[in-house]
């Protein structure tokens, strides 16, 4: 069961038009628990989550199950293994937290990879994204510190999974990372480079696959 909201009575009423949440730090558990207690959680269709603490995993799991098909926009931050965040608390990994099959009406999905010490493996991203079942998906953004491009076959597999047959409304796929612009262009499959351009600074690049028709 979700924990009760510690600082406000369950009778406190959120704004009737509230449909989007952008949570941070220790607000995750109390806010989700409060909205559940007052019966408002099912009205939320947009959710932004920070790194989720291990002690908040159960609350997040139950909340995501309740949001289910109502969720249209999801923005998450995570890592691929439980770790200490700044030495203060443990955070849960992405595969433990998220099952995108619960949200068959997702239109936008953004995944922020928070570990600056390890490359993102495309195989790990494939494990996560193969849970995605939303044919309504329009935009996918993958944001990370470094891009692992040693095995271009895995990125090709990911590209094939995100096919128009599976996601007919997907118009925009964006990779954002730190790294050498030319090095990334040389290593990634050509299908990823249709709209390559510099983003913000010369060392920070944005690779956007072109719009699908």
* pLDDT exceeds cutoff 50 at 51: yes
CA–CA dist 132, 100 (Å, integer)? 5
pTM of the model: 0.79
Per-residue pLDDT of 144-201, as tens digits, reads 766 655 556 777 787 788 888 999 998 888 877 765 556 555 656 555 554 443 222 2
Nearest to 81 by CA among 118, 33, 48, 44: 118
Question: Which residues neighbour 11 within 8 Å (Cβ) at sequence distance 6 or greater?
Answer: 38
104-142 CB burial, b ≥16 within 10 A, e <16? eebbbbbbbbbbeeebbebebbeebbeebbbebbbbbbb
* pLDDT exceeds cutoff 70 at 63: yes
More confident position, 26 or 20 = 20
Per-residue pLDDT of 80-108, as tens digits, reads 655 555 544 567 778 888 999 999 999 99
Per-residue pLDDT of 100-145, as tens digits, reads 999 999 999 998 876 655 555 667 778 888 889 999 999 988 887 6
Q: Which residues face 203 on adjacent strands?
A: none
CA–CA dist 158, 151 (Å, integer)? 12
Instruction: Look up residue 79 and give its DSSP letter.
Output: B
Q: What is the pLDDT of residue 72?
A: 98
Contact 166, 157 (CB under 8 A): no
Q: What is the pLDDT of residue 173?
A: 81
């Amino acid at each position: 069961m979700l924990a009760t909201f510690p600082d406000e009575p369950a009778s406190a009423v959120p704004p009737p038009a509230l449909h989007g949440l952008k949570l941070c730090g220790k607000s995750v558990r109390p806010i989700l628990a409060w909205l559940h207690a007052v019966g408002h959680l099912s009205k939320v269709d947009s959710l932004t989550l920070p790194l989720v603490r291990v002690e908040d995993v159960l609350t997040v799991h139950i909340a995501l199950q309740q949001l289910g098909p109502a969720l249209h926009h999801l923005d998450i931050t995570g890592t691929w293994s439980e770790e200490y965040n700044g030495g203060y608390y443990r955070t849960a990994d992405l595969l433990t937290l998220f099952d995108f099959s619960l949200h068959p009406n997702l239109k936008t999905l953004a995944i922020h990879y928070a570990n600056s010490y390890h490359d993102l493996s495309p195989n790990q991203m494939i494990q996560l994204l193969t849970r995605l079942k939303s044919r309504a998906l329009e935009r996918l953004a993958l944001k990370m510190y470094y891009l692992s491009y040693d095995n271009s076959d895995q990125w090709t597999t990911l590209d094939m999974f995100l096919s128009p047959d599976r996601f007919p409304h997907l118009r925009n796929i964006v990779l954002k990372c730190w790294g050498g612009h030319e090095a990334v262009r040389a290593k990634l499959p050509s299908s990823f480079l249709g709209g390559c351009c510099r983003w913000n600074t010369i060392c920070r690049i944005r690779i956007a696959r072109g719009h699908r028709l």
